[in-house]
Structure 1
Amino acid sequence: MLGRALAPLHRFAEAVAALLLAVIFIAFIVQIVLRYVFNWPVGWTTELSLAAWLWLVLWGAAFVLKDDEEIRIELIADRAGPARRRVMTAVGALGVLVLFGMSLPAAYDYVTFMKVEKSSYLGVRMDITYSIYIVFVVAVLVRSLRRLVRAVRGTLPAPGTPGVTSSSP
């Protein structure tokens, strides 16, 4: 039921990612045309591409990537029994929660401090550019908390379940 309610939000997140990819591609083409056709090198296209790439990667990791699409190396966990796998999953999720949770205040301080800087060509405040990192960290924390709860409750999908990737052969 929750999946159906979130489906439109997931499609929106995918559309934003596609738009960011289009921005990168268009900026790349504009840069080539301006540089090699008109002999007019510009820097704003590179700046725009880099900012869009940063947003694309972190936005995609936060909102587009599904749990079963994440890359995890679970060579040991896949060979363990269900109880040990749950413990390993819980410990891993707890580790991510602790480390990202500890980093969040410093990351927030850094991003808010960057309001004093602007990008060279476009003049965009750097706190706006880097704000996606805070969104990404919060999304990682929520996902890890959900994974921890699922591990503790014993509701993790078994390895080999359709739609669940596994690192074992």
Structure 2
Amino acid sequence: MSSSPSRPTHILRTLADAVPATLLAVMFVCFIIQVFMRYVMDSPVGWTVEVCVIAWLWILLWGQSVSAEEQDEIRFDILYGSVSSGVRRWFRIVFSLLLVGIYAWSLPALWDFVTFMKIQDTSYLDIPFSWVYSVALIFSVVTILRYLRILWGAARGTDTGQSSVDELGRKDFTE
């Protein structure tokens, strides 16, 4: 079991977790505005849909890369939980190498796409699409860093991935 995080780490984690929660609240408010404008005022507005789509994109990519922890990820527990810890360690090494390689290989093309999209703005709010899609860069870079850390821990044998899986391969909710 790892020690508790330092105060600055805890503050950063709290702020990172607040981003998807705030965006979800923004989506809810926009939904209510849209319903009110469409059915009460009989004058639908388009900007609320745009905000919801952008917020949802950011919630998904930010949440998975920055806010989610490794034990929150989906695994094929039938296979992963049924093999020895040594085989699990090799699974983690191979999977981490593959993910780091794929994301690192695609990063230059993703950068080109995001920077190219500065030429176009969203329809209602005139936000450059490069800002909208910048979360994809954050997602890729954070995912690369996360899996490099997982790779390092698995290669050293210090992180076996057992913190979230018990001996039967089920998530342990008692932590």
TM-score (norm 1): 0.91
Of 152, 162, 166, the match for 1:149? 152
Residue 61 of structure 1 is matched in structure 2 by: 64
2:81 aligned counterpart, secondary structure: helix
Counterpart CA distance in 1 for 2:133 and 2:14 is: 24
Q: Distance in 2 between matches of 1:16 and 1:57?
A: 11
Out of 12, 16, 29, the residue aligned to residue 13 of structure 1 is: 16
Q: How many residues align?
A: 166
- Match of residue 75 from structure 2: 72
**Matched residue, 2:45:** 42
Cα pair 1:118 1:124 within 8 Å, conserved: yes
How far, CA to CA, are the matches of 2:161 and 2:44 in structure 1?
54
Q: Alpha carbon RMSD of aligned pairs, Å? A: 1.7
Q: Which residue identity does 1:48 align to in structure 2?
A: V
Where does residue 82 of structure 1 map in the other structure?
85
CA contact 2:81–2:165 (8 Å) conserved in 1: no
Taking only the aligned residue pairs, the percentage that are identical comes to 37
Paired residues of 1:101 and 1:141 also in contact (CA < 8 A):
yes
Offset at 1:69?
1.0
Q: Deviations over 1:14-56 (max 9, x none)?
A: 1222111111000000000000000001111000110011111
Q: 2: CA distance between counterparts of 1:112 and 1:165? A: 41
Structure 2 stretches lacking a partner, 5+ long: 171-175
Relative to the length of structure 2, the TM-score reads 0.88
Label 1:93 to 1:74 Cα distance change in 2 as closer, same or farther (>3 A). farther
Cα deviation, residue 158, structure 1:
5.3
Cross-structure match for 2:169: 168
Contact 2:93–2:155 (CA under 8 A) maintained in structure 1 = yes
Given that residues 69 and 165 in structure 1 are in contact (C-alpha distance below 8 angstroms), is that contact kept between their aligned partners in structure 2?
no
Are the equivalent residues in 2 in contact too, given 1:115–1:126 (CA < 8 A)?
yes
